[in-house]
Amino acid sequence: MFYSPGCPACVDRQAELRTAARAAVKDLEWREINVVDNVDHAVNLGVMTLPSIVIDGQLVFTSMPTTAQLRKVLIERNRGRK
């Protein structure tokens, strides 16, 4: 999850989304990346708005998803790996 410390939407929902993601996929690696400190990495992935969520190196959400939306995408992607 790319975020900015000054982004209230990012900060308010980080823990909720992290918990939902970890519940959806066993052994999930969740990273919270401060875009200010990692601007080049964010630009390389196409991050233009915050918050943004990248899954497996692909920009998937360019705004704050609901926990249900995030869980659905993670479960579908994880199912495809098996």
Omega into 51 within 30° of 0, i.e. cis?
Answer: yes
- Assigned domain for 70 exists: yes
The SS3 call for residue 51 is coil
Q: Over the stretch 17-73, which tens digit does the pLDDT of each residue have?
A: 999 999 999 899 999 999 999 999 999 999 999 999 999 999 999 999 999 999 999
- Assigned domain for 82 exists: no
Q: In total, how many domains does the chain have?
A: 1
Strands 2-3, 33-34: pairing is parallel
- Assigned domain for 64 exists: yes
DSSP state of 52: B
- Assigned domain for 80 exists: no
Per-residue buried b or exposed e for 33-54, using 16+ beta carbons within 10 Å of the residue's own CB: bebeeeeeebeebebeebbbbb
The domain in which residue 66 lies consists of 2-75
CATH number of the domain encompassing residue 27: 3.40.30
pTM of the model: 0.88
What was the pLDDT predicted at 5?
A: 87
